[in-house]
Chains A and B, each alone.
Chain A
Amino acid sequence: MSKLNIIILMALVTYIPRMLPMVFLKNMRLAPWLNRFLRFIPYASLGALIFPGALFSVTPPLAAAGGIITSAVLAFMGRSLIAVFASGVMAVYILLLII
């Protein structure tokens, strides 16, 4: 499948769940457990994406680990998304230059 077709399918599977309830199901209610399950999906998917993917995003993994720690500490301190992004990338850049 070409990248263009994949992106078109991504657009469809994103738009359809956004559109269906607005257009057709104005007063629908879901079972509470399904509600919770859907609400927790973003956390679970971020977890699965970060580990182990982040560790092998750059070689050597040691540089990636430095970036992970830097980003996690700044995020924990409540810094903005852009600050977390910029410092993580900077940490990896510096580590790649010196390792």
Chain B
Amino acid sequence: MKYALPIAAGYFPVAVSFGLTAVSAGLDGWLAVLMSLIVFAGASQFVGAGMFGMGVGGWEIVLTTFVLNFRHFLMSSSLSRRLPEATTKSQSALAAFGVTDETFAVASMSGEEKLTPSYLYGLNFTAYSAWASGTFVGVMAGSILSDTLKQSLTFGLYALFIGLLVPELKRTRPAVTAALCSMAVSGALYFQPFFELGSGWMIVGATIAGAFAAAVLHGEENEQA
């Protein structure tokens, strides 16, 4: 359990801000808590709550969630190679629910050769509890705030996006390419006068364009994933 505590300590306040911003964006409190309980994926929950706030259509939200979280496919493939031979399908299926960027980082950096299901359950459950309880606290706090404060909390979503992206821009060149290209495409789609496009589709289109540009421009230089 103790290897999971830094994740829990990091998740709790972020989950509180998720609860606050989701309610400020107009999502019912119980739906925000439900999202944390059954989706359990930080970035896409913030994006989902933001898109609910913008009144974006359902399929756009679902597709954006899929595109955003598809990276977990890679992480699960990598973890699956380190499960003991005796792991059953239902144990793997349960352990897979808790795969996030942070639990993946901790699990894959752990010195153990094999990752037992009980190790993964402990890690995931600690992170999950912090995420769910933090959301509940945020939702409760969100219902007693003034309108101006709620409006500024809507910006909180974007502050988090900026807080996630900027350190990556300092760290890797492909991040700069991907982010700048996607910003250029989404800006162009937003300001062009020719046709109407839902903001969800703009985000999906710009994301694919930006990631594609970075994958093409930054060829073989760093293959480790």
Interface residues of chain A: helix, strand, loop or mixed (majority):
helix
Query: Does B225 touch A at the CB level, under 8 Å?
Result: yes
> Which single residue of chain A is at the shortest CB-CB distance from B218?
A36
The answer to whether A93 and B152 touch across the interface, beta carbons within 8 angstroms, is yes
Interchain CB contact (< 8 A) of A6 among B58, B152, B164: B58
List 26 interface pairs A-B (beta carbons < 8 Å), by A numbering.
A4-B34, A10-B44, A17-B70, A17-B76, A21-B73, A22-B80, A26-B83, A27-B81, A36-B225, A41-B70, A42-B43, A43-B182, A43-B211, A47-B183, A48-B183, A51-B183, A52-B190, A64-B155, A71-B159, A72-B162, A75-B166, A85-B163, A88-B162, A88-B163, A93-B148, A93-B149
Closest 9 CB pairs of A and B: A88-B159, A44-B210, A47-B179, A84-B163, A75-B166, A1-B58, A48-B206, A54-B158, A21-B77
CA distance A6 to B72 in the complex (A): 20
For residue B174, give the distance in angstroms from its CB to the closest CB of chain A: 6
The answer to whether A3 and B183 touch across the interface, beta carbons within 8 angstroms, is no
CA distance A38 to B178 in the complex (A): 11
Interchain CB contact (< 8 A) of A7 among B39, B183, B208, B216: B39
Chain B interface residue bracket vs A: 35 or more
Residues of B within 8 A of A (CB): 10, 13-14, 17, 27-28, 31, 34-35, 38-41, 43-44, 47-48, 50, 52, 57-59, 61-62, 64-77, 79-81, 83, 89, 92-93, 95-97, 99, 148-149, 151-170, 174-175, 177-183, 185-187, 190-191, 199, 202-203, 206-212, 214-216, 218, 220, 223, 225
Residues of A within 8 A of B (CB): 1, 3-11, 13-15, 17-23, 25-28, 30, 32-33, 35-54, 57-58, 64, 67-68, 71-72, 74-76, 78, 81-82, 84-85, 87-90, 92-93, 96-97
